A = this chain, B = another copy of it.
Amino acid sequence: MAKADRLLKIITLLKGRRTVITARQLAEVLETSERTIYRDIQVLLDTGFPVEGEAGVGYRLQPGFEIPPIMFTAEQLLAVQLGLKMVQGWSDKELAISAEEARVKIEAVIPDRLKETNQQNCLLVSKHYLNTEAAQHSLSIRRAIQQQYYLTMAYKKADGEHSKRVLMPLGLVYWGQKWTLIAWCLLRHDYREFRLDRIQALVVESEKFSTDESINLTSYLKLLRELYGEQC
């Protein structure tokens, strides 16, 4: 087997595994010697490939590098760049930072001669939302959704009525200027949707919930589609 092919196969094998793989295993699969595998790994390391090896353990990808490079066309990249500006203006502070990092990466790889004609320069996004209280709530809620923590929330409806709820947060929806939280409400025993700008107070509880086949975001969306068709 040609060396270049073997290097690519090592990369593929490393990316397809959660657990470590030893030089012996690689040598068997690729029908070569362990010494050659050690040399190949060194070549990968020299070229910056994020592999790490521990004596007595084996090799694996360094955490955080499981996602391979993506190749976009110029048009797709314009959509990505505009989208990142929107995230910077209308999501939460953490996402805004990630979006800025992503934008810097993109700027770094665009050839100079493509920068002059880059349409994204003419597409701007306002940036006032991130300092609102709704945006602070947004970040807390997003984390609670991911880690599945109950929320206790004081809410004020459009008609001025106040209520207190204990919720299983499931998703966030962006409506342009407004975000809403989709949650299972323990008070009403049903799904409910709440506008983030009407939240009076919010506490992320330390108790975890779990979703199942009857209470989860996918079911709620399916329910909405049955009720309203494809408008959702």
**A58 in contact (CB, < 8 A):** no
Q: Are A171 and B119 in contact (CB under 8 A)?
A: no
**A206 in contact (CB, < 8 A):** no
**A80 in contact (CB, < 8 A):** yes
- Count this chain's copies in the assembly: 2
The closest CB in chain B to the CB of A146 belongs to B119
Write out the residue numbers on chain B whose beta carbons fall within 8 Å of the beta carbon of A96. 79
| A111–chain B nearest beta-carbon distance, Å | 6
| A80, A111, A126, A142 — most chain B CB neighbours (10 Å) | A80
The closest CB in chain B to the CB of A176 belongs to B177
**A217 in contact (CB, < 8 A):** yes
The closest CB in chain B to the CB of A170 belongs to B122
By Cβ-Cβ distance, the 4 closest A-B pairs, closest first, are A83-B83, A69-B69, A176-B177, A79-B99
Give the segment of A34-42, A85-93, A153-161 that binds chain B.
A85-93
Q: Give Cα A227–Cα B85 distance, bound, in whole angstroms.
A: 23
| A145–chain B nearest beta-carbon distance, Å | 5
